[in-house]
Amino acid sequence: MAAADPNDRLGFLLSFRGELTGARIRAALAVAGLHPRNAMTLMRLAPGATSQRELAAVMEVDPSQLVAILNELESDGLCERRRDPADRRRHIVEITPAGVEALDRVDAAVSAAERELFGDLTEAEQTLLRGLLDRVVVDPAGHECGE
């Protein structure tokens, strides 16, 4: 039996292109000294303060992972946590002015990278690609990779 052409294997093609795209985005994020997960957290905080629990849910990360991310961002002065006065068990997380500045640098750098990566696609094709990628089932059972 002949081996399949790698370009005919969607998983392989998506994985390979994903690695290349990830490397380009990580390079863009380096302008602000951020890792992708830190930049994504700041993006989620940009609209306004939120609870730490809600942030973990929307980011689809384990709360303990979010604590590590927030510790890094907080030590860099990019976000801050405070107790909710209405419920002392609850933490409210908010982006700082320095976090907004870092996010502005990230946005400019990522926009440039995306123009480079997707410049050959029309707006309609980019919209179609977003829709198709949203439908790719990465983990149907809801387990962490490696479980």
| 29-88 pLDDT tens trace | 998 889 999 999 999 999 999 999 999 999 989 999 999 999 999 999 999 999 988 888
Distance from C-alpha of 90 to C-alpha of 145, rounded to nearest angstrom = 29
| pLDDT reading at 132 higher than 60 | yes
> What per-residue confidence (pLDDT) applies to 76?
95
- Encode 83-139 in three state secondary structure: EECCEEEEEEEEECHHHHHHHHHHHHHHHHHHHHHHCCCCHHHHHHHHHHHHCCCCC
> What per-residue confidence (pLDDT) applies to 88?
82
Residue 42: name the closest of 114, 94, 81, 91 by CA.
94
Predicted TM-score (pTM) of this structure? 0.77
Per-residue pLDDT averaged across 137-145, rounded? 60
Spatial contact of 102 and 95, defined as CB atoms under 8 Å apart: no
Query: How is residue 131 written in tokens?
Result: 């829709």
Residue 105: name the closest of 6, 20, 38 by CA.
38
Distance from C-alpha of 96 to C-alpha of 75, rounded to nearest angstrom = 12
